[in-house]
Every structure is written in structure tokens, then in C-alpha cells.
């Protein structure tokens, strides 16, 4: 009991290392039936999973993790049986209120699968990736945050 405060202090002192490591880590894709049946054609792992219209949207960075000032591509895979159309991919730094200096090119690579090329994250810090889609019901979007160092 007398050591609890010390343990707490130790944990607090480790917090900055934990956060920094977590920012660069590639989290595993949580498994469920839909995700298990849905994966990139080459069998490679996803960087993360978002939800789009109630169905999973897998994404992965190339290179992973993304690096400041290096060209970046993003593979996207909709796990919907009737996937929407990808209409836009963008990245912005909310804290700086600016985006990229380049417009990515979008390439369909299969049913519900796309590759966005020509992104460049030109500053270290927190970037938000915006993925815009459209289907018969209208527009929808998914977002994810990443700290790049």
C-alpha cells in the first residue's frame, strides 16, 4: 500500500514516452466478421479501419508510417457489398489551418478499392485525413488523425 504513490509517479513519468510511441504506431485492425472477410488484395495489413455508412473502410499508408516531406500514397478498401464512389482524399493540419500543397490523384484498383497517390505532408505534427465518398443516398465522409514526426 505504501508503494502505490511511487507506482503512480512512475506511470506518470512514463506517460510522455507512451504517448509518443502510440502516435507513430500502426494499430491492429479490430476483428469482426465483416473485417475478417474484407482485406487488401495483396494480403497486406491495414494501417487502420474507419466506419463509412455502417460498414468498415480499411486504409493503409505507403510508406507506413508516413514521413514528413516524402511522397505518400494511401490504399483504401470499402467493405460494403455495394461500395460508394471515392470522390476525394485530402489531408489538413487543423492546428495550422492549412492543407497540403498538392492534389492527390485517385486511382480505382478494384471493386471498392482505390489508391490515392501524390500526397505530401510537408510539416511535422497532427494531420487529419479526409476521405470523401458518394453513393445514391448522397455524400459521406470518413476521417482519421495521425501525428507525423
Binding site for another protein (CB under 8 A): 1-3, 5-6, 9, 13, 16-17, 20, 68-69, 71, 95-98, 100-105, 117-118, 120, 122-125, 149
Q: Determine if residue 82 is left, alpha or beta; phi over 0 gives left, psi from -120 to 50 gives alpha, anything else beta.
A: beta
Tell me how far, at minimum, the Cβ of 82 lies from another protein, in Å: 31
Q: Are 116 and 105 in contact (CB under 8 A)?
A: yes
- The three grid cell numbers given for residue 137, joined into one nine-digit string: 443516398
Q: Are 65 and 24 in contact (CB under 8 A)?
A: yes
Tell me how far, at minimum, the Cβ of 62 lies from another protein, in Å: 13
Q: Which is nearer to another protein, 105 or 143 (CB)?
A: 105
Tell me how far, at minimum, the Cβ of 138 lies from another protein, in Å: 27
Q: Which is nearer to another protein, 38 or 61 (CB)?
A: 61
- The three grid cell numbers given for residue 9, joined into one nine-digit string: 509517479
Grid cell 476521405 is found at 131
Amino acid at each position: 500500500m505504501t508503494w502505490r504513490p511511487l507506482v503512480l509517479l512512475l506511470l506518470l513519468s512514463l506517460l510522455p514516452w507512451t504517448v509518443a510511441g502510440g502516435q507513430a504506431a500502426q494499430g491492429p485492425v479490430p476483428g469482426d466478421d465483416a473485417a475478417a472477410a474484407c482485406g487488401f488484395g495483396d494480403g497486406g495489413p491495414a494501417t487502420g479501419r474507419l466506419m463509412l455508412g455502417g460498414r468498415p473502410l480499411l486504409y493503409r499508408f505507403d510508406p507506413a508510417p508516413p514521413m514528413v516531406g516524402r511522397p505518400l500514397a494511401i490504399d483504401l478498401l470499402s467493405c460494403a457489398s455495394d461500395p460508394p464512389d471515392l470522390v476525394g482524399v485530402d489531408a489538413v493540419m487543423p492546428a495550422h489551418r492549412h492543407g497540403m500543397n498538392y492534389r492527390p490523384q485517385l486511382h480505382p484498383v478494384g471493386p471498392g478499392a482505390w489508391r490515392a497517390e501524390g500526397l505530401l505532408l510537408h510539416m511535422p505534427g497532427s494531420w487529419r485525413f479526409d476521405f470523401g465518398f458518394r453513393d445514391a443516398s448522397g455524400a459521406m465522409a470518413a476521417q482519421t488523425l495521425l501525428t507525423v514526426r
